[in-house]
Amino acid sequence: MFLASNLAYQIIAVWMPLFVFAIFFASAVGAYIWRQTRLNKILKWGIGAFIFTYLARSGYLVWLQHATWKNDEFGKFLLPPNQPIGYFWQYVWTHFLIDLPWIFGGALILAGIVLVLGIVSKGRMVDGTDALLAIFGALIAGWPNMLAYFLIVLILALLGSLVYGIIKRQIILIPITPFFFAGAIIVFLWGTKITEILGLGQLIV
């Protein structure tokens, strides 16, 4: 069966998420540069696509695990009627599903923090679009890399404000929207390494 082959695994579990992330990220960057009126719409569609991709990938891995055990002489003893169905679900929860609440919940919390910053800065620093970008980037980064992602965005924004303030010779808050895009690229390329350096690897579930 093709779906149980290594090629299908590579396509569905590895390349499909990367393709979806790349398409929507490139679209969002393009919209920010040339058509900002379309940015929110693209971000919302991207967030929906990312959530679907996570769920589809996890569902596929659950099915693949069941198919693998079912076609293995030893694996059959780990499925009903030899074992309670709860054993299988406990296994797939700890291996394929447990990170989903952390990913989705973490993305929402980061968006909430951005909205609070927007209220404090009266919209001069961040706004609703940045909250969507926080979710967008967090879903690309995954858990716990999204924590490194958010920290990088804040550091880049602070450095940008300092440089701009020195040039203008005054303290000023600048929009941090472009730093969300920069942070997503940095974490996508080096997120795992940065997470380890920051000691966040212990939060991996």
Say if residues 160 and 177 touch (Cβ distance below 8 Å).
no
- Averaged pLDDT for residues 32-48: 94
pLDDT digits (tens, 9 = 90+) for 5-29: 899 999 999 999 999 999 999 999 9
**Whole-model pTM?**
0.90
In this predicted model, what pLDDT tens digit does every residue of 86-96 receive, in sequence order?
A: 999 999 999 99
Q: What is the 3-state secondary structure (H, E, C) of the chain?
A: CHHHCHHHHHHHHHHHHHHHHHHHHHHHHHHHHHCHHHHHHHHHHHHHHHHHHHHHHHHHHHHHHHHHHHCCCCHHHHCCCCCCHHHHHHHHHHHHHCHHHHHHHHHHHHHHHHHHHHHHCCCCCCCHHHHHHHHHHHHHHCCCHHHHHHHHHHHHHHHHHHHHHHHHCCCCCCCCHHHHHHHHHHHHHHHHHHHHHCCHHHHCC
Residue of 61, 49, 44 whose CA lies nearest to 17: 49
Can you give the pLDDT at residue 22? 94
Residue 15 to residues 56, 154, 176, Cα–Cα distance (Å):
13, 30, 30
Q: Tens digits of per-residue pLDDT, 145-179?
A: 999 999 999 999 888 888 877 777 766 667 788 99
Between 75 and 131, whose confidence is greater?
131
- Extract the tokens encoding 109: 């919390």
Residue range 95-139, pLDDT digits in tens: 999 999 999 999 999 999 999 988 887 777 788 899 999 999 999
Query: Taking 90 as the threshold, does the pLDDT of residue 4 lie above it?
Result: no
Question: Taking 70 as the threshold, does the pLDDT of residue 192 lie above it?
Answer: yes
Assign 205 a pLDDT band (cuts: 50, 70, 90). low
Report the chain's mean pLDDT, rounded to a whole number. Answer: 90
Residue 180: which pLDDT band, with cuts at 50, 70 and 90?
A: very high
Choose between 41 and 176: higher pLDDT.
41
> What is the C-alpha separation between 117 and 160, in angstroms, rounded?
17
| CB 57 within 8 Å of CB 17 | yes
